[in-house]
C-alpha cells in the first residue's frame, strides 16, 4: 500500500529553514552516525515526490537533481527552470487531483512530500497525508520557516522514536485511520 509521507527535519524550536531560507544548520548532520544510512533506507521506499516552489527553487542551487529516477511534481504558478534528464512536472492543480497521479507514479512505493509545510497542510486537510517522519536537530534557530504553518486535522499516533547518532532524534507519526482506507 502506498503511503503519503512528510519526511522532514526541524530545529528544536520548530523551524525547517533559518530566517534566510538556508539549510546549512541541518546539512552539518548528514555525516552524523547513522543519518546517511537512515535517509537511504527511507528513500528506498519512495516512488514519487512532491514539493512546493520554494523547496524546488532551493534545489535549483544544486549542481544536479538530487532525486534521479524519481518522478517529481512541483506545485507552482510560475514556469521554473528544469534539471536536465529529471522527470519533473510543474503544476498548479489541486493537491487532491495531483495526489492520484503521484500514487500512480509511485507504482506501489510511497509518496514523499518534500516540503514545504503549507503544501503538506493542503494534503492533510484533504485526508491525503498518512505519516509524518519528523527529525529533530539539536539546534535552536530562533526564527525561520515553520515546520507546519497551519493546523493539521485529526489525531496523530506516535509509531516510533529513533535516536540517530549522539543527539538527533526522529519521531514517526501516523494519522489515525491511515492505511485502513
Q: Is the C-alpha dihedral spanning 87, 89, 95, 96 positive or negative?
A: negative
Report the candidate in 129, 177, 172 with the shortest Cα–Cα distance to residue 4: 129
Per-residue pLDDT, 2: 96
Count of CB atoms within 10 A of residue 42's CB?
15
pLDDT for residue 180 is more than 70: no
Average pLDDT, integer, range 93-119: 95
Per-residue pLDDT, 37: 84
C-alpha to C-alpha distance for 70 and 125, rounded to whole angstroms: 25
* Bridge pairing between strands 88-91 and 131-137: unpaired
Amino acid at each position: 500500500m502506498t503511503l503519503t509521507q512528510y519526511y522532514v527535519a526541524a530545529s528544536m524550536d520548530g523551524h525547517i529553514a533559518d530566517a534566510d531560507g538556508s539549510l546549512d544548520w541541518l546539512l552539518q548532520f548528514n555525516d552524523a552516525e547513522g543519518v546517511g544510512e537512515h535517509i537511504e533506507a527511507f528513500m528506498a521506499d519512495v516512488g514519487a515526490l512532491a514539493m512546493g516552489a520554494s523547496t524546488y527553487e532551493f534545489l535549483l542551487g544544486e549542481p544536479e537533481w538530487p532525486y534521479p529516477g524519481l518522478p517529481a511534481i512541483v506545485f507552482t504558478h510560475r514556469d521554473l527552470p528544469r534539471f536536465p534528464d529529471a522527470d519533473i512536472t510543474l503544476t498548479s492543480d489541486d493537491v487532491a487531483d495531483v495526489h492520484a497521479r503521484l500514487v500512480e507514479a509511485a507504482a506501489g512505493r510511497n509518496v514523499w512530500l518534500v516540503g514545504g509545510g503549507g503544501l503538506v497542510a493542503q494534503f492533510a486537510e484533504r485526508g491525503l497525508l498518512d505519516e509524518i517522519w519528523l527529525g529533530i536537530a539539536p539546534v535552536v534557530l530562533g526564527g525561520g520557516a515553520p515546520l507546519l504553518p497551519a493546523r493539521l486535522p485529526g489525531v496523530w499516533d506516535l509509531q516510533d522514536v529513533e535516536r540517530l547518532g549522539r543527539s538527533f532524534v526522529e519521531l514517526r507519526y501516523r494519522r489515525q485511520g491511515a492505511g485502513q482506507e
